[in-house]
Structure 1
Amino acid sequence: MRGERSGRKSDSLAKAAQAGLAAPVAESPPTWQALGDLIKLVGRSNAPHLRLRLIGAIAMTLAGKALGVLAPLVLGAAVNHLASDQPTEVAIGLGFAGFAVGWAIVRLLSAIAPNASDVVFAPVRSAAQRTAATETFAHALNLSLDFHQTKRSGSLSRTMDRGARSVDFLLRILAFNLVPTGVELVLAAGVLAGAYDWRFGAVAVVVVAVYAASTFALSNWRLEHRREMNAADTEAAGVSVDALLNYETVKSFGAEARAARTYDAALGDYTRASLKANSSLALLNVMQAVIMNVGLGVMAVMAGFEAAAGRMGPGDVTAAVLILISLYAPLNILGFAYREIRQSFIDMEEMLKVTRQTPQVADAPDAIALAKPDEGCASELRFEAVGFRHDARASGLEDVSFVAAPGTTTALVGPSGSGKSTIVKLALRLLDPQEGRVLIDGRDVRAVTQESLRAAVALVPQDVALFNDTIRANIGFARPDADEAAIWAAADAAELDDFIRGLPEGMDTRVGERGLKLSGGERQRVGIARALLADPCILILDEATSALDSRTEAAIQKTLRKARSGRTTLVVAHRLSTIADAEQILVLKAGRVIERGAHHELVARQGGEYAALWRKQTRGARTGQMAD
């Protein structure tokens, strides 16, 4: 069955670790700690009438178990009555019928009780599962950039899904199966010992103990296959989602067959583990059947001898055997339940590991909302001796200082890897500086809430990512309360309105996965419209027109100049012609600001980095025009 997937252990665990999420570890979390986490989760679930539902569900479950033990006694009394000497056949029939009807009613009630209990408790399970999934999802979104740059989306999604489902399973199986079965064993042993002989109760306890111990031992052995299965399952999910998300790259390199082979190899791990697990499952079932039938045989023989000695009636023999059989019914799934409980604890722990990760960028306990400027919409952006070094790089930003005055445009230029994108991330507080400070209107960005900061700063990235939703939803994402007129105004400002009106479904056109139904230029214009709708105090343009043709770029540059009016703008550019009107240009190299000034000042600087780059670009442009 599909739940028995596996793979080669060392390879699978290594691959899962590379996926950015820890693979299931060999040791499960301490049981009491895991139970504590589960109880706390139920308490946070805000399920309706939580206490009443919990008490009612447990009461009905225990009542069902008690009635299940009582039912064989009623049937035994019916058989004894049938076998006893009665004055008339009518009396015998009526007595037997009365006991038989009573037995049927008791059995019916014992069957109804757990189902009614499940209905009563179902909202609690659902609320707990929903809370677990929502908390993990929200926390994962709040984790810092380093987490999201190393994670694999498919692996994280599978971890959250398995963890949330494990909460529902644990609540159902622990509260309403294993624990009530233990209570039923105590009741059955007590009834057998009290109604007949202590040896009958001892046999029931011994048989169940041997059954449980053997099942746990074999299930522990089989659990290793499930751990390996999770690693292979996570790897397969990561491989498939990566290939589907990056299908253009796969197709561009003709790697469809290679991607399919990689996925097939991951599924091959599942197949190998499944074969092992199925064989071990057959062994477990045979072992359980042997113990069950030996126990029933011993109980029947003992009851037969007692009946022969006149100490038990034929109905008592039937009742004793039926009580033991009723105990076996929930024990039939003991191996499955034990294995799944262990695995569910592991799945829940893997999910909780995500929620226990501390984001590197988090709101301070005393963080306040960033206030908008008293006049206009522009804010001052200041970097003071900022330093930051990525773990994967030998160098980073060093002693970067500049002031972007309100309402002005500051441009960042320099070769790839010079630190331009890092400055953008620091301004958005996607990263925190390791040295120095980043301030907006004189306030350290670490002292304000991230929500208010992101409301004041809008980014148009080089590669705009869109949701698989409508154009309206993607533009309106910046301001969910925006009306239709505001969305169309933003689209018009981004030179997008004619394009949208020409579409059969207009604003309701779906853009596809990551917006791939649109061209690169169209995606960027949607990104610009989204940023303009946010009405930010600081606008960051990270190569915002790089994917546009010359005519559209010229039009949008004109639009962006209007949008920049009254706002503080930070522009990352490679084409220097697009930032010639910037009040301040910073030239970066190897994480340092090596030149700064206005365009005319930098171009006039002999031997300067900016001047050399300007001459190279303008010479290339003139050569291209002559060739045309």
Structure 2
Amino acid sequence: MHGSRSGRHRSDPGVAAAAGDSGLKPKGPSTLQALTDLVRLVGRSNAPQLRLRLVGAVLLTLAGKALGVLAPLVLGAAVNSLASGQGTAAAVGWGFGGFAVGWALVRLLSSTAPQLADVVFAPVRSAAQRRAATETFAHALSLSLDFHQTKRSGSLSRTMERGARSVDFLLRILAFNLVPTGVELVLAAGVLGARYDWRFGAVAVVVVAVYTASTFALSNWRLEHRRTMNTADTEAAGVSVDALLNYETVKSFGAEARSAAVYDRALGDYTRAALKANSSLALLNMIQAGIMNLGLGVMAVMAGFEAAAGRMGPGDVMAAVLIMISLYAPLNILGFAYREVRQSFIDMEEMLKVTRQTPQVADAPGAVALAKDTARRGGSIAFEDVGFRHDARANGLEGVSFNAAPGTTTALVGPSGAGKSTIVKLALRLLDPQGGRVLIDGHDVRDVTQASLRTAVALVPQDVALFNDTIRANIGFARPDADEAAIWAAAEAAELTAFIRDLPEGLDTRVGERGLKLSGGERQRVGIARALLADPCILILDEATSALDSRTEAAIQKTLRKVRAGRTTLVVAHRLSTIADADQILVLKAGRIVERGAHHELVAHVGGEYAALWRKQTRGARART
């Protein structure tokens, strides 16, 4: 988005991505470790004809560099033959023409070989980039709830995007630019020293060494400016993404102008940092040009003296200068390459750090699949002295024990922060208990595979999250192989069919980002349909009807009572009237179960927590009527 605001230059094309979310100086990986990671990534890329393409691309690149050094020598021979002027004019002309054609042909081959190498190696680069992005994305999805609750979505997306791009860049710049340029320097110095004088080779090496050292030193000095610019770029991106994701909140508080002002300030910081970075870039380019032209001048003067002494012909003078010019051409991007290689290694390492994260919730070695409920009796849920404490909270679950028999309904009630949602997450194994055990059908959830557990348990959350896709895709997400009839049956069970048939595009209606084109009640009904399509043996309803009007809620409650048959149901509710028919009700307070029993038993306990909540809600209902 705003990464394209900086102008492009030979030594600084575009804006490099930020190294991280903070302004701290990133610590990059060791070069050897980074190269090892890159080689391993290429090895598991599954690129077609990987070894053949790798060898062919390297040979073509080296051939191109060798021909690039040879081309000036051929043209020099042509000029020498023309300058000698011996023989007839026709013979001299034909001789020069032959050398000139040879020079053009060699130059064409030297220019074509790297392009062919890039074509040969492109599938390997693409496969490695794809593998890197896919592995990181898949691993990020497998990480635990704690990781996703503390991350910034925009930053994680940027990390994956930058890391995947860095793989392609490193393979292209290292394999086909920096390393071949080093080979070209050795060839050029050898040819100059062997054909003319060792001093020519020494000048070429010294000039390149001074050019490289000064470029590296100035690039290191510029890194702080670049780092500041990249941090400002990331901050601006974070501000814009946060505001766009929370569009409704911004709108509802009339904060459009305020959010735009914050974004403008972030862009101002970026612009100031970019100006400093571009000014230091101009200084770097001027110093590079000075060193380059000084080297060419020294080489030309030396060649002139050699020609005056009769040891070199005019063509040799031209060949020596052309070799230096062709050697300097790839050095034009040395500053850019050095900085971007360092940055790309950092970006790749940041991406690999995600893949090295160990999920807090993972399948145990030897985990078994949870058996399917073929008898349609529902699964049992048992909590045995379960304890769990969140890092950010003073209270957690302490000694929670209960048993939900197959086919029964268990309701969880209590004030906010009492631990109801934590129990739901433990039952789904989004969290692991820090003490005690959670059992499904007698199996500790830590001993069964997560895939089989999530197939057996379905959740309808209070705030249903939908994909920016069609209603059909969102309902069918629970079971991708479901046919049209099954999707319509689930929609009908969730009281959605009338709403869908009134839409111009029916099931193919797109719901917008996070389902914001639908009302809260409509999103909840899509969530209920999705859970019913999964056909679980355990159904968890976390305030699943809180956003519905009274009439629709009554209809869906009736539907839910039907679909509970053959299923074990865990219900989280604040409106006690919706769970009055539950087989058992657990009242939580400060992470403990303080009361349990059926509705009529708890209401009869006059001094109890549940009875107090019931009186408060029924009194409020009478007051409203």
Q: TM-score, normalised by structure 1?
A: 0.96
Q: Which residue of 2 aligns with 1:469?
A: 469
Deviation of the 1:233 alpha carbon: 2.2
Q: Which residue of 1 aligns with 2:485?
A: 485
Q: Aligned partners of 1:377 and 1:470: how far apart in 2?
A: 33
Structure 1 residue 605 corresponds to structure 2 residue 605: yes
Structure 1 residue 206 corresponds to structure 2 residue 212: no
In the TM superposition, 1:445-464 aligns within 5 A as 445-464=445-464
Alpha-carbon contact 1:81-1:92 (below 8 Å) kept: yes
In the TM superposition, 1:521-600 aligns within 5 A as 521-600=521-600
In the TM superposition, 1:59-458 aligns within 5 A as 59-458=59-458
Read off the aligned partner of 1:455 and give its amino acid letter: T
Deviation of the 1:234 alpha carbon: 2.1
Q: Which runs of 5+ in 1 are unaligned?
A: 6-15
Deviation of the 1:377 alpha carbon: 4.8
Deviation of the 1:374 alpha carbon: 4.7
Q: Aligned partners of 2:26 and 2:121: how far apart in 1?
A: 33
**1:570-595, Cα deviation, whole Å (9 max, x unpaired):** 00001111111110100000000000
Q: Aligned partners of 2:63 and 2:4: how far apart in 1?
A: 33
Deviation of the 1:606 alpha carbon: 2.5
Q: Aligned partners of 1:353 and 1:23: how far apart in 2?
A: 19
Q: Which residue of 2 aligns with 1:624?
A: 624
Alpha-carbon contact 1:4-1:273 (below 8 Å) kept: no
Deviation of the 1:27 alpha carbon: 2.8
Read off the aligned partner of 2:214 and give its amino acid letter: S
**1:190-217, Cα deviation, whole Å (9 max, x unpaired):** 0001111111100000000000000010
Deviation of the 1:230 alpha carbon: 2.7
Read off the aligned partner of 1:621 and give its amino acid letter: A
SS at match of 1:138: helix
SS at match of 2:571: strand
Q: Aligned partners of 2:24 and 2:108: how far apart in 1?
A: 43
Deviation of the 1:624 alpha carbon: 1.5
Alpha-carbon contact 1:380-1:403 (below 8 Å) kept: yes
Q: Which residue of 1 aligns with 2:511?
A: 511
Q: Aligned partners of 1:309 and 1:203: how far apart in 2?
A: 19
Q: Aligned partners of 2:491 and 2:374: how far apart in 1?
A: 28
Deviation of the 1:62 alpha carbon: 0.3
Q: Aligned partners of 2:604 and 2:22: how far apart in 1?
A: 55
Q: Aligned partners of 1:621 and 1:358: how far apart in 2?
A: 50
Read off the aligned partner of 1:538 and give its amino acid letter: I
Q: Aligned partners of 1:194 and 1:220: how far apart in 2?
A: 36
**1:388-442, Cα deviation, whole Å (9 max, x unpaired):** 0000000100000001100000000000000000000000011100000001011
Deviation of the 1:256 alpha carbon: 1.0
Q: Which residue of 2 aligns with 1:8?
A: none
SS at match of 1:289: helix
Deviation of the 1:226 alpha carbon: 2.2
Deviation of the 1:383 alpha carbon: 0.4
Alpha-carbon contact 2:23-2:228 (below 8 Å) kept: no
Q: Which residue of 2 aligns with 1:13?
A: none
Alpha-carbon contact 1:155-1:235 (below 8 Å) kept: no
The range that moved more, 448-457 or 58-67, is 448-457
Read off the aligned partner of 1:403 and give its amino acid letter: N
Read off the aligned partner of 2:380 and give its amino acid letter: E
Read off the aligned partner of 1:117 and give its amino acid letter: A
Alpha-carbon contact 2:22-2:231 (below 8 Å) kept: no
Alpha-carbon contact 1:158-1:237 (below 8 Å) kept: no
Read off the aligned partner of 2:449 and give its amino acid letter: T
Deviation of the 1:137 alpha carbon: 1.0
Q: Which residue of 2 aligns with 1:12?
A: none
Deviation of the 1:81 alpha carbon: 0.5
SS at match of 2:587: strand
**1:116-164, Cα deviation, whole Å (9 max, x unpaired):** 0000000111111111111111111111111111111111111111111
Q: Which runs of 5+ in 2 are unaligned?
A: 7-17
Deviation of the 1:3 alpha carbon: 6.9
Deviation of the 1:260 alpha carbon: 1.1
Alpha-carbon contact 2:425-2:431 (below 8 Å) kept: yes
Q: Aligned partners of 1:468 and 1:23: how far apart in 2?
A: 33
Deviation of the 1:482 alpha carbon: 0.4
SS at match of 2:402: strand
Read off the aligned partner of 2:615 and give its amino acid letter: R
Alpha-carbon contact 2:229-2:277 (below 8 Å) kept: no
Read off the aligned partner of 1:491 and give its amino acid letter: A
Read off the aligned partner of 2:511 and give its amino acid letter: V
The range that moved more, 213-222 or 231-240, is 231-240
Q: Which residue of 2 aligns with 1:42?
A: 42
Alpha-carbon contact 1:133-1:160 (below 8 Å) kept: yes
Deviation of the 1:380 alpha carbon: 0.6
Alpha-carbon contact 2:162-2:347 (below 8 Å) kept: yes
Alpha-carbon contact 1:543-1:571 (below 8 Å) kept: yes
Alpha-carbon contact 2:81-2:92 (below 8 Å) kept: yes
Q: Aligned partners of 2:489 and 2:22: how far apart in 1?
A: 47
Q: Aligned partners of 1:24 and 1:371: how far apart in 2?
A: 50
**1:248-275, Cα deviation, whole Å (9 max, x unpaired):** 1111111111111221222122111111
Q: Which residue of 1 aligns with 2:12?
A: none
Q: Aligned partners of 2:539 and 2:64: how far apart in 1?
A: 66
Q: Aligned partners of 2:472 and 2:227: how far apart in 1?
A: 44
Q: Which residue of 2 aligns with 1:51?
A: 51
Alpha-carbon contact 1:24-1:230 (below 8 Å) kept: no
SS at match of 2:410: strand
Alpha-carbon contact 1:603-1:610 (below 8 Å) kept: yes
Alpha-carbon contact 2:479-2:533 (below 8 Å) kept: yes
SS at match of 1:547: coil
Deviation of the 1:474 alpha carbon: 0.3
SS at match of 2:140: helix
Q: TM-score, normalised by structure 2?
A: 0.96
SS at match of 1:234: helix
Q: Aligned partners of 1:614 and 1:173: how far apart in 2?
A: 70
Change (3 A) 1:137 1:24: farther
Structure 1 residue 496 corresponds to structure 2 residue 496: yes
Q: Which residue of 2 aligns with 1:11?
A: none
Q: Aligned partners of 1:2 and 1:427: how far apart in 2?
A: 44
Read off the aligned partner of 1:438 and give its amino acid letter: V
SS at match of 2:503: coil
